[in-house]
Amino acid sequence: MIDHVGLTATDFALSRDFYTAALGALGIKLLAEFEYDGVRSAGYGIERPTFWLGSGKVQRGGDTHVAFVAESRAAVEAFYTVALAAGGRDNGPPGLRPHYAPDYYAAFVFDPDGNNIEAAYVGPKGGRL
């Protein structure tokens, strides 16, 4: 249903390095990077870019939350550890979130601009809300 998601970063290089490290722990790679009309862009994905980061002024006014699929609980834990080491701030350590689904295992971090970024593993059956 959603083709791609994008966020704006006030410090593009800092955020690019943060996402390259944190998403790399989930097997998500930086697949495209370019500048057009003064805006730098970085696209992340597995087969094609579906998460985009762009340079610019961040507009405050609402909570931004993006959740990435993790293939295991270990991947959630790796994401959390790497994201914190890359400059993220804790917003919820790895653990079960049974109020979402019985096997919902996730971790949350704030990126350099304060966006709430999650890695979630929903168990071997892929149960959802």
Would residue 116 count as lying in a domain? yes
Residue 69 near residue 120, CB atoms below 8 Å = yes
Domain count within the chain: 1
Examine the pLDDT at 72 and tell me if it is beyond 70.
yes
Tell me which H or E stretch contains 21: helix 12-24
Domain assignment of residue 63, yes or no: no
Percent share of the chain, pLDDT over 70: 91
Which CATH number covers residue 26? 3.10.180.10
User: For residues 13 and 21, is the Cβ–Cβ distance under 8 A?
Assistant: no
Cβ within 8 Å of residue 70, ≥6 positions away:
26, 76, 79, 105, 106, 119, 120, 121
Which residue's structure tokens are 């996730």? Answer: 106
Q: Which helix (H) or strand (E) holds 57?
A: none
Query: pLDDT grade, residue 58 (50/70/90)?
Result: confident
pTM: 0.85
Q: Is residue 60 part of a domain?
A: no
Residue 34 lies in a domain: yes
pLDDT band at 3 (very low <50, low <70, confident <90, very high): confident
Domain for residue 61, yes or no? no
Domain boundaries, position 95: 5-50+68-121
